[in-house]
With several copies, the nearest count.
Chain A
């Protein structure tokens, strides 16, 4: 199983590591039982564009690299576009991921989606990530559990 040079670069030099204290939205997905946990904090401006992202990740090389690159990809995007980022786009952006690691990119995109919905909820607005997720085969109306479901499924991938 080999990681691309770009994965190794983002693993070794992760971008935007940390926590935004006065974040507008926070997403935390994954489960230490599976060995993967990602927390992402975002700042969103008046035009619903993401101006800043920071992440923290406990996980394997792919989990850290996908977290890192998703913060780069989403920076400056509208929240609508940000929640549209697919796990495939993340993997492609990294020059591919080993099959056994594809689920890690789900962790990153899910984290972002949860953070956006958190931002919307805080402002009494309708969550939008769920709607996006419905295009996903694993769709589950309750976005949060859906995320958990994916995480759980990730566990299975580990067995």
Chain B
């Protein structure tokens, strides 16, 4: 990739690459590439065209929709709307349900958890500007949103509650079925950002009772720029992207047939392999957690015994700054993240870690390791071998580590 080579970088000189940031994005699985390619070059028709090439594309699109609907346990394929990004689904759901719900005479109170992705928080702020009353629901130190905490702030005027299924930084899994039920008791609608949870935890739309959910393909070995908004029949919705009226008038724009096919295929693979893959990932993740906790002044973020994604570990490493640690690891070909990699070049102390009560000076030293389909035991060995000396070196360079945490490192 000439761009990559155009300028020498540490990573180019790397002995090996150990990718441990599967929560940020994933490589597209070769089987997914194979499934999508024919729709770029051969079956390239516009699915809205009436002739053969168009009908072939239409059938492929609907086959992808049906497969995806089965995969998430939707009652009806028509509830699956293909979008151009996870962020689009989040924006469309939060803005669309709140506005249309209010127009239907439901109140103007909106609740979002305070550790949502910015793709939820920003639309919530926009709603506040539009005169909605927006309440942020804080997770507890264990990394979970508790249903009783939601109950305490629900009102008859609550039109929308949005709580993510799995948190992207902590990997903690929220009790969405209970949260949705509580929301329905006051007649509100419940949306969940299930972008990190999809394919990793049991997901059945009918069973968990949510009214809307967002998904993104590039988190499960599908391409970037492809998402799905699940919208339960009858849920009020102001259409977000308007124009030609595609997706049964719920999302305009020529459908990305190759992308939809890829996403459906990616989900099929996740579900087919989950039973064997999850235990493997959990074992790798636990090795990472236990290994890092060997070092002094380290801690797992979120309680250990709560429901968690199989692949995500988030740890505080006191007395180091995250970016410095990340870059040192990168020199050795190890890719991890600190704070949210989804936030453009951003280095602010993670709002997620602050939300569960970490002090900023501690939040600056967070390490997120996410293992995935192509992670091996050797990769974890390599991380656990290379990390401790880096931590010691950075702590030794710190003017405050000794003061703050005592020289015991």
Contact = CB atoms under 8 A, between A and B. Distances in A.
Contacts of A124: none
Contact of B399 (A11, A28, A61): A28
Contacts of B349: 35, 158
A59 B324 contact: yes
A33 interface: yes
B40 interface: no
A19 to B, nearest CB: 8
A35 B364 CA distance: 6
Interface residues of B, number: 32
A73 interface: no
A39 B397 CA distance: 10
A32 B361 contact: yes
Interface string B290-332: 0000000000000000000000000000011111100110010
B360 A58 contact: no
B161 to A, nearest CB: 26
Contact of A57 (B328, B361, B364, B397): B397
Nearest to B54: A1
Interface string A40-72: 000000000000000011111101100000000
A61 B397 contact: no
Contact of A158 (B9, B331, B348): B348
Contacts, number: 77
In this complex, the interface size class of chain A, counting residues with CB under 8 Å from chain B, is 20 to 34
B397 A1 contact: no
Given A11-B324, A59-B324, A158 B347 contact: yes
A58 B401 contact: yes
A12 B9 CA distance: 12
B397 A14 contact: yes
A158 B364 CA distance: 11
A64 B55 contact: no
B400 interface: yes
A57 to B, nearest CB: 6
A64 B324 contact: yes
Contacts of A35: 321-322, 347, 349, 360-361, 364
A146 B55 CA distance: 35
B399 A38 contact: yes
Interface in B54-98: 55, 58-59
A37 interface: yes
Contacts of B7: 5
B225 to A, nearest CB: 21
Interface in B323-349: 323-324, 327-328, 331, 345, 347-349
Nearest to A159: B348
A11 B404 contact: no
Nearest to A36: B321
A131 interface: no
Contacts of A58: 319-321, 394, 397-401
A23 interface: no
Contact of A56 (B320, B347, B397): B397
A12 B348 contact: no
Given A32-B361, A158-B347, A56 B8 contact: no
A157 to B, nearest CB: 9
The 5 closest A-B pairs by CB, nearest first: A39-B399, A1-B345, A35-B364, A32-B361, A56-B399
Given A35-B361, A56-B397, A58-B398, 18 more contacts: A1-B58, A1-B345, A5-B7, A8-B327, A28-B399, A33-B359, A35-B322, A35-B349, A35-B360, A37-B399, A38-B399, A56-B398, A57-B398, A57-B399, A58-B397, A58-B399, A60-B347, A64-B324
